Chains A and B, each alone.
Chain A
Amino acid sequence: MEIDPFIFRLSIFILSIFVGYYVVWSVTPSLHTPLMSVTNAISSVIIVGAIIASLAGNSTEVFNTASIFGYLAIILAAVNIFGGFLVTQRMLAMYKKKKKDK
């Protein structure tokens, strides 16, 4: 009897929830805002779906109904990826320790 590949994906999903649970509890509360902006940036990895939608078709037209939605999703995800990572970087750069000589 063969295991359905879906089960493997489900396993990855469930285990990742647990990883996420423990990793996020260890995030210091003062960094909760950067946590939100970085999770926002990484969830834009949905762009891989958008790339497949826009490029993988074998239609001769560049813009057909399926690829247009793909391209739109690429723009949205790109705003998020660049915006999310850069704003996180900008925030994290501001967190400084007390200077020792004070």
Chain B
Amino acid sequence: MSANLLAIFYLVSGVLFILALRGLSSPETSRQGNLYGIIGMIIAISVTIISIGNFSIGFVYLIIFLIIGGTLGAFIAFKIPMTAMPELVAGFHSLVGLAAVFVAISAFLNPEIFDLGYPGDIKIASLVEMSLGAAIGAITFTGSIIAFLKLRGIMSGSPITFVGQHFLNLVLGILLVGLIYYLCKTQSENLFWSLILISFLVGILLIIPIGGADMPVVISMLNSYSGWAAAGIGFTLENTALIITGALVGSSGAILSYIMCKGMNRSFFNVILGGWGATDDISNKKSTEQKPVKSGNADDAAFLMKNASSVIIVPGYGMAVAQAQHALKEMVDSLKKNGVKVSYAIHPVAGRMPGHMNVLLAEASVPYDEVFELEDINNDFANCDVAYVIGANDVTNPVAKTDPQSPIYGMPILDVEKSKSVLFVKRSLSPGYAGIDNDLFYRENTLMLFADAKKMTEEITKNL
């Protein structure tokens, strides 16, 4: 196959990847979009194999490894519960990162096969590109592993900070730039290995200071990194499909990070520099004060909702933890039978990754046209009889509007306070991840339902 024809095929697969993302503009076109993505991938892999034309024993191994990896991937894809989607995505990002590192290593050790020069005499441009690919890939790898461990609960979700942390990161960052510079001058193998090792370290240090509630930003950011790593390798290999894909994924992750930051009214750097008021003394003192709280049981809640004409459900991470989405759907079905109008309100940062709540509701077969984003539904709270807040807290906290001292001041919130009554399903009065007390708990029209989200929802359904 001529090099030109090969390049055209890579271009085609790049375009198919664009169409795959384009399909996601609506659920109807999305399945077809995914199909385009698969076709693009098949084209890229097949033309690469055909153009090399090596069908010796090495090819047999390639097929075997493809099957091993593919089976493992397919197994994970079918077995993973939807609530575990954030850690799955984090885990997958780490694999892309590590794959980028491995490809960069083999390009460095054996540049002839990629047409980049000879060991010890690699073209400078290629060397810079592969160093960038390897460094970003390595950061993505360890960063995603830390994110995975935090999401999975193996590692504590609270931020890990120490004195001089930012300074250390800065020094390591400068060191990385210096290493790439000297690598280009000396082509030394040791420098290349050090570059990768230090990037691994940077990846860990970047993610450990970031707390659990900021995970949506972290996952999006790592998504973006995995794209830039792919693009770096794409430049090294002079491969259009990789360059296009890298750019697409990189910008996609960056946009998602931006949306998530905006959803919390925080700057990107503020999130990256870590630690969101987890040890805020003032807020801890506040929450120890005893304030009167009205708490109720499933019977009261069922009574309130049955007699309402409209109910808005506000799900949060707690719903995912309790796996309450199916119970919730059943409750909503009974409510609908009683003639109650029900819709769902999703805050941009609800859950642990962008769109987390939407997937869970879709899993419980909630029609997606009953689920609304913040801007589209926020005005409806004023006309709604009951807001049923299940596992959400900070995203409803009116302090974000009233108290400029609060760490979440300026964050867009769901105006559940405006509805006639508010039901909070929560296990305790403890503050949310932001570590701040929620004023709503103590209001006249709020009824607290202290229980596991799933059990409470099931009991309410029984009482309807």
Which of B10, B68, B89, B363 makes the CB contact (< 8 A) with A36?
B89
Interface SS majority for chain A? helix
A12 to B246, CA, bound (A): 11
A97-B30 contact given A45-B44, A52-B237, A91-B82, CB 8 Å threshold: no
A57 to B59, CA, bound (A): 12
- In the complex, chain A residues 38-56 whose Cβ is within 8 Å of any chain B Cβ: 38-56
Q: Counting CB contacts under 8 A, is B426 at the interface?
A: no
* Distance to closest chain B CB from A29 (angstroms): 5
Chain A 68-102 interface mask (CB, 8 Å, partner B; 1/0): 01111111111111111111111111111111001
- Interchain CB contact under 8 A, B113 and A79: no
Max chain A Cβ within 10 angstroms of own Cβ: one of B71, B243, B348: B243
* Distance to closest chain A CB from B147 (angstroms): 12
A61 to B80, CA, bound (A): 39
Which of B62, B233, B234, B365 makes the CB contact (< 8 A) with A55?
B62
Which residues on A sit within 8 Å (CB–CB) of B78?
Answer: 86, 90
Q: Counting CB contacts under 8 A, is B402 at the interface?
A: no
A26 to B371, CA, bound (A): 18
Which of B27, B30, B113, B247 makes the CB contact (< 8 A) with A20?
B247
Interface residues on A, range: 35 or more
A69-B54 contact given A40-B93, A46-B230, A53-B110, CB 8 Å threshold: no
- Interchain CB contact under 8 A, A20 and B109: no
Q: Counting CB contacts under 8 A, is B253 at the interface?
A: yes
Q: Counting CB contacts under 8 A, is A23 at the interface?
A: yes
A77 to B68, CA, bound (A): 11
A43-B245 contact given A33-B354, A62-B58, CB 8 Å threshold: yes
A55-B77 contact given A26-B25, A76-B99, CB 8 Å threshold: no
- Interchain CB contact under 8 A, B44 and A40: no
Which residues on A sit within 8 Å (CB–CB) of B13?
Answer: 45
A70-B243 contact given A30-B358, A52-B52, CB 8 Å threshold: no
A55 to B48, CA, bound (A): 10
Which residues on A sit within 8 Å (CB–CB) of B247?
Answer: 12-14, 16-17, 19-20
Which residues on A sit within 8 Å (CB–CB) of B336?
Answer: 102
Q: Counting CB contacts under 8 A, is B14 at the interface?
A: yes
A82 to B403, CA, bound (A): 48
A47-B99 contact given A32-B358, A55-B58, CB 8 Å threshold: yes
A46 to B45, CA, bound (A): 10
Max chain A Cβ within 10 angstroms of own Cβ: one of B20, B125, B219: B20
Which residues on A sit within 8 Å (CB–CB) of B45?
Answer: 47-48, 51
- Interchain CB contact under 8 A, A34 and B242: no
Chain A residue with the shortest CB-CB distance to B93 = A40
Which of B114, B223, B250, B358 makes the CB contact (< 8 A) with A17?
B250
* Distance to closest chain A CB from B454 (angstroms): 19
A69-B105 contact given A16-B244, A20-B252, CB 8 Å threshold: yes
Residues of A at the B interface (CB closer than 8 Å) are 5-6, 9, 12-14, 16-17, 19-21, 23-58, 62, 64-67, 69-99, 102
The contact sample of 22 A-B pairs, CB cut-off 8 A, is: A12-B243, A13-B235, A13-B244, A16-B243, A19-B248, A30-B27, A31-B358, A36-B353, A38-B37, A54-B62, A55-B52, A62-B58, A66-B109, A78-B65, A79-B76, A82-B69, A82-B73, A83-B77, A87-B76, A88-B37, A90-B77, A91-B359
Q: A40-B89, A43-B246, A73-B98 are in contact. List 17 more A-B contacts (CB 8 A).
A: A6-B125, A9-B238, A12-B247, A16-B14, A30-B373, A32-B256, A34-B24, A35-B24, A37-B92, A46-B242, A47-B45, A49-B107, A56-B54, A78-B65, A78-B66, A83-B72, A87-B76
